[in-house]
A = this chain, B = another copy of it.
Amino acid sequence: MSLLHDDRLFPGDPATRAIARRLFEGIRDLPLVSPHGHTQASWFARDEPFPDPAKLFVQPDHYVHRMLYSQGVSLDDLEIGVAELKDPRRVWRIFAEHYYLFRGTPTRLWLDYAFEELFGLEERLSAKTADHSYDIIAEKLATPEFRPRALYERFRLEVLATTDSPLDSLADHQAIRDSGWKGRILPTFRPDPVVDPEFAGFRENVLKLGELTGEDTSGFKGYLAALEQTRARFKQLGCTATDHGHPTANTAALGREECERLFESVLSGRADAAQQELFRAQMLTEMAGMSVRDGLVMQIHPGSVRNHNLQVYARYGRDMGADIPTATNYVHGLRPLLDRYGNEREFTLILFTLDESAASRELAPLAGHYPCLRLGPPWWFFDSPEGMQRFRENVTETAGFYNTVGFNDDTRAFLSIPARHDVARRMDCAFLAKLVVEHRLDEDEAVEVARDLTYNLVRSAYKL
- Report A's interface with B, CB cutoff 8 A: 4-5, 7-16, 66-67, 69-72, 100-106, 109, 124, 305, 308-312, 321-327, 329, 331-332, 335, 338-339, 342-343, 345, 354-357, 360-362, 364-371, 373, 381-382, 384-387, 390, 393-394, 396-403, 434-435, 437-442, 445, 448-449
Cβ-defined contact, A12 with B9, below 8 A: no
- Distance, CA A14 to CA B448, complexed state (A): 27
Bound Cα distance A124, B442 (Å): 10
Q: Are A321 and B369 in contact (CB under 8 A)?
A: yes
**Given the complex of chains A and B, what is the CA–CA distance between A381 and B385 in angstroms?**
24
Using Cβ atoms and an 8 Å threshold, which residues of chain B touch A369?
66, 69-70, 308-309, 321-322, 324
Is A368 within 8 A of B66, CB to CB?
yes
Contacts A357-B361, A398-B105 known; A311 to B370 CB distance under 8 Å? Answer: no
Given known pairs A339-B310, A445-B100, the reply for A70 and B105 (CB within 8 Å) is: no
Q: How far is the CA of A100 from the CA of B394 in the complex (A)?
A: 19
Given A12-B438, A371-B69, also A308-B331 (CB < 8 A): yes
Q: Are B400 and A104 in contact (CB under 8 A)?
A: yes
User: Beyond A101-B400, A103-B400, A324-B331: 13 further Cβ-contacts under 8 Å?
Assistant: A4-B439, A8-B438, A9-B439, A11-B438, A12-B13, A69-B371, A71-B402, A100-B402, A106-B397, A311-B342, A327-B357, A356-B361, A381-B398
CB distance from A101 to the nearest CB of B (A): 5
Tell me if B371 and A70 are in contact (CB < 8 A). yes
Chain B residues near A364 (CB, 8 Å)?
381
Could you say which residues of chain B place their CB within 8 Å of the CB of A9?
Answer: 438-440
For this complex, 8 residue pairs linking A to B, each with C-beta atoms less than 8 Å apart, are A8-B438, A9-B439, A12-B438, A104-B396, A105-B397, A324-B365, A354-B361, A355-B357
- Pick the residue among B102, B365, B401, B448 that contacts A400 (CB under 8 A): B102
Q: With A11-B438, A72-B345, A400-B67 known to touch, is A360 a contact of B356 (CB < 8 Å)? A: yes
Interface centre among A103, A345, A386 (most CB of B within 10 A): A103
| Chain B residues within an 8 Å CB radius of A394 | 386
CB distance from A398 to the nearest CB of B (A): 5
